[in-house]
Structures are given as C-alpha cells and as structure tokens.
Structure 1
Amino acid sequence: MVTFKRLHEVPMKIVLEAWEKGFEGYYVNLSMPLQAFVTRLTNEDLLLDLSNIMLDGDKPIGINLNGVRSADGQVTGWNGGIGIAPEYRGRGLGKLLMEESMKAYLEAGVHQATLEAFVQNKGAIKLYEKFGYVIKDKLLHMSTMNPVYLETEPGIDSSFTTIIDMPIAASRLPFYNRAGAWQTQWQSAKGGQSLIVYLGGEPVGYAIFRHNYNPQGELVSIALYQCEVHSEQASSLQIYKYMLGQVFDPGKGNAKKVVINLKESHTELVAVLREAGFAAEVELVYMEKTM
C-alpha cells in the first residue's frame, strides 16, 4: 500500500534512498552523498516539513522536494524535484506526489508555484500542465572551460566604480530581478558574492556569483546566478561585458565557468555569453502556476 510522509518524519538516510531511487536513470546524474544532499536542501531553502516521501510499506519509492520563500508579501513555492523509483514508474504515482505537493503549498499560503523540467521530459511537462502549470520561458544552463575575454569600448572601464558585497546586497537594488528562476535568486548563492557597478554615483548593474573550491583549496568553478543592467542604461552591452569580465576574470585559471538557469528571453545577456564561448549544457522549461 502506497503511503506518504513528510520528510521530517523519516530518517535522513531513508530520504536520501528515496532521492537516489527516484532519480535513477535520469537525464543527468543526481546521485550524491548524504552531506551533499543535506547541503542542497539548505542552499535551496527546501523544507523537510513541506516535502514528501512516498512509501510502499516501509520501502521508499518516490520523493518530492518543496521550497517556500517570501518577498514583498508574495509567497513563492518551488518544486525542487519529483522522482519515482524505476520499477514504479508508469503507474500514475507522479500524479499522487503532485497532489501532495499542492497540499503543502496550500498549507504554506503559496501564491505562485514554480518548477523546471528538462525540455525532453514530455511526460513530466504534460503532468505539470494538468495541475495548472504553464510554460513561461526556457532556461539555459551554460558553461565553458575556456578563459573568458570580452572587449569593451576603449576607456569605458575607467568610468565604472565597483564594490563587492554579499548576495543580499543586490536584492536591495531597485532593478533586482525577482522574476528569475528559483536557483538564480540571491538566497541560493549562499557563500557567494555580489558585484555592484556604479556609474556617476548611481548603481547601473550587478552580478551574483560564487567561487567553488576543492578540498585542496583550488578554485574549480565560478557560478553566475544573475547578471542584470538597469533598464535605463543605453550602454547596457558594455556594462554586461564589463561585469562578466570581472566575474569570469581570465586570471582565475582553468576553473569551469557556469551560468545557472538563465532565461532564454534574456536575449542580450545570452548573446554576450555565446560571444564569450558559453554553450548550453542543459535546457529546461520554466513553468509557473497561480495558486
């Protein structure tokens, strides 16, 4: 008999087992050790008391992770993963997990629910649409291993003033992008930094990023979460190039450069990144549902 529990009701090793089974044979390898899984829960603000595990007797066979964040009176929920063990797929159990997810959002007072799905996962997309989710955009997870060189107009760099601050500092700017995907928001950049660019004493752009190091203290990757320019700036292209040059400084060695879940509709930034040698590793659909 299939039953459901919230994650805080079961040992964490059982939760991890449900995750491992639920995403076995997935489009990308999502297997991870327990500590990395716990870190992911923390970094993405995924809540144990609003997330669900599906059991067949005592056997974990499915999982759904949910996160909730509030800003400016708007409560947003995020489906951070829904997976079913391979031998239980095709039985309609995903629908049951989605129903549990909707219950959790109603309990939390969610106004808008969001999620992402691999573009090739037609079955999952169809399921989400049945629950009222609508595709709003495509997300590009981009990367390059090459040094990033972006040439700006002569002399323009000297006109900018930059400060490095915590990620939350970017969220206080009037043009901060709250409409980006969940994993691009400042809350997900724990341990990261923000670069804020000023022109004539006024903020004109920002980037949120994080350096990731291996146990030996070597820089292995640089992850860009957001990069935005104030809409009133006519020189937006130059500001984008300047900020990307600062974040992905060629002097930072052979670290992998990653751009997380950038909306394809952000055409100017996408074009600049492609000019710099970035290519999409993964493409996702971005979906929303008004509760």
Structure 2
Amino acid sequence: MEIRNLKGTSVEELVAVFNRSFSDYIVPFRLTVEQLKSKIIAEDIKPELSLGVFESGKIIGFMLHGLRNNTAVPTVYNAGTGVIPEYRGKGLVGAMYEELLPHLQELHIKKMILEVIQENKPAVRAYEKIGYTVSRKLDCFSGKLDILKSNKEVTVQSVSEFQWDTFMSFWDILPSWQNTVQTIENGKSLYTTAVAYRDNVPVGYVIFNAESGKIHQFAVSADYRRMGIGSSLFEWINTARKGQEVYVYNVDHDSDSSLGFLQKIGLSEKVVQFEMSKEI
C-alpha cells in the first residue's frame, strides 16, 4: 500500500473512487467528470497537496485539498475525503494526514478547514483526534420553492458582472469555501447573477448555477429586509429553473433570518454540517 500525491492521477480515476467512496454515505453523492473538473478549478484544488492511497497501483482512498495563500492566514481546504468501503477502518485517513502535514508546514500553511456532516460521528471523532475543532454549524436546504408573497415594487435583473463592493455590504455572515468570492470568480462562467432593484437602487442579489439549481450566495440589504426582496429574487430563480428543485448549502446556523426565510419559501433542512478547523 502506497500514499502519494495525485499529480499523476486522472480525473476519471478520481471520479470513480469518489463515487464509490460516497455511494453508501449518509447523503449518497455522485460527481461526473465535468463536475469534478469544475470543482477542481473553482475550489483551487491542488493535485500536489491532494493524496491518494494506492493498492497494487489502484486508488482506494483519497483526500482533495484546495489552497489559498493570498489571504492573511494561508489556508488549505479539505474538498473531499473518502475511502472505498472494503478498506475502511484501517486508519487510512490518519495515514494520509501524517503524510500531508510536513508538506503543509514546509509551505508555511497556517490553517486547515473542512466540512463534515454532523450525524457522521465516526468522521467527526476522527477529525477531532487529528486536532480539528468545530468552528461553526452550516445548514443545507433543498426543495421546490413555494413563494407566497414577493415585492411588486422590486425589479429583478440578471447582470453580467459581480458587484462585490455592493454585494458584500449586504452580508452579515461569511460564506463557506465553496461559496466564497474567490470560488465564484474562479468558476464565473458557471453562474447566473441577479440583482433586485428598488427605485433603481440595488437592495439584494443572488448568485446561482442555473443548470444544477445550486444557490451559492444570496443577501438583502439590512435596510430592506422583510419587504419581500428575497422572495422576489427567489421567484426569479424559480422562473429560471422552471419550478425545479433548488439547493442552498452551508448557510451559517447563526443566521436566524436566513434560516427562517428559506423555510418560509418552501425549502427544507436536509443536512447540518460542522465546519471544522485546525491550526498548524
């Protein structure tokens, strides 16, 4: 059995081991080759910092890591860890971390973060044993939209450019790695952006993937909340999606207003995740 980085491993091989590893997960999950390619680009996943466990030349476990060192605290993000069922319980995740940590220290990486489903207690315990602690809870919603009341004084328009200064002024919570400004900029061709205007003033926005239905960011100006602005934005999405399901992942659990709004428009909480971090 050998542990090495994934520089020489094809995306097709990674998709195969990823899907097999997550086939019996709490929330079964599958990726296509194109989806994994997009994920690698958007989340800054680095093959040289991502590891695989190989048995007779075949990958049986993996750990994908994204790197962002253009911030005050250089950080790596665990973008996915899995081991195929018949090789679990053999300490392979811990062995991959033992291999990885010296390389991160050489690169002066200061922090590691990941997300794990709260109900996956064995994984939570394993990460705690390595030194991770819970930093916050993230709620994941999905369903078909049921919007009872929007604001008819609001105009919602798609825009071609991200207006980050304006958008970020609406925030009172920080997005997770998958939904950050850099992730969205990296994969900008994948996303549709809509802005809500009242009297020609931007008062809210949403960024989503029209094909998958995944909503990466949404926010309304604090001065215009509870006025149907969010409902108008999601009504626009519902039209764009032709009534199909939408998905809102990793909403900060402390944002009562966001959680309440999503439930009010017909979405259900499906999973709660822990965001965990480890200082190096």
User: TM-score scaled by structure 1?
Assistant: 0.80
CA contact (8 A) 1:75 1:110 kept: yes
Partner of 1:206, secondary structure, is: strand
Partner of 1:5, secondary structure, is: strand
Per-residue CA distance 1:139-195 (angstroms, 9 max, x = gap): 22211224434334xx7x35x78662344x336755375832111223444221333
**Structure 1 122/11 Cα, relative in aligned 2: closer, same or farther at 3 Å?**
same
Q: Which residue of 1 aligns with 2:64?
A: 65
Count residues with an aligned counterpart: 275
Q: Unaligned 5+ residue runs, structure 1?
A: 213-220
Q: Which residue of 1 aligns with 2:213?
A: 222
For 2:177, give the aligned amino acid: W
Per-residue CA distance 1:97-144 (angstroms, 9 max, x = gap): 223343454344433321111111111111111222221222222112
Q: Which residue of 2 aligns with 1:136?
A: 135
Residue 159 of structure 2, aligned match among 137, 147, 164: 164
Q: Does 1:255 align with 2:249?
A: no
Per-residue CA distance 1:75-98 (angstroms, 9 max, x = gap): 332101111122221122221122
Superposed, which structure 2 residues align to 1:6-45 within 5 Å? 6-45=5-44
Q: Which residue of 2 aligns with 1:185?
A: 180
**Structure 1 75/44 Cα, relative in aligned 2: closer, same or farther at 3 Å?**
same
User: For 2:156 and 2:33, how far apart are their aligned partners in 1?
Assistant: 42
Tell me how far 1:238 sits from its aligned partner. Answer: 2.3
Deviates more, 1:267-276 or 1:233-242: 233-242
Tell me how far 1:5 sits from its aligned partner. Answer: 1.3
CA contact (8 A) 1:17 1:60 kept: no
User: For 1:172 and 1:104, how far apart are their aligned partners in 2?
Assistant: 38
For 2:181, give the aligned amino acid: W
For 1:180, give the aligned amino acid: P
CA contact (8 A) 1:139 1:283 kept: yes
Per-residue CA distance 1:230-255 (angstroms, 9 max, x = gap): 4xx34323265255335424475222
For 2:216, give the aligned amino acid: Y
User: For 2:202 and 2:110, how far apart are their aligned partners in 1?
Assistant: 31
Percent identity between matched residues is 23
Q: Which residue of 2 aligns with 1:218?
A: none
CA contact (8 A) 1:63 1:84 kept: yes
CA contact (8 A) 2:69 2:75 kept: yes
CA contact (8 A) 1:205 1:227 kept: yes
For 1:228, give the aligned amino acid: A
Q: Which residue of 2 aligns with 1:96?
A: 95
What is the CA RMSD across the aligned residues, in angstroms?
A: 3.0
CA contact (8 A) 1:209 1:226 kept: yes
Q: Which residue of 1 aligns with 2:260?
A: 271
CA contact (8 A) 1:207 1:227 kept: yes
Deviates more, 1:49-58 or 1:28-37: 28-37
CA contact (8 A) 2:21 2:85 kept: yes
Q: Does 1:235 align with 2:224?
A: yes
For 2:90, give the aligned amino acid: R
Deviates more, 1:244-253 or 1:111-120: 244-253
CA contact (8 A) 1:162 1:197 kept: yes
Q: Which residue of 1 aligns with 2:53?
A: 54
Q: Which residue of 2 aligns with 1:121?
A: 120
Tell me how far 1:63 sits from its aligned partner. Answer: 0.2
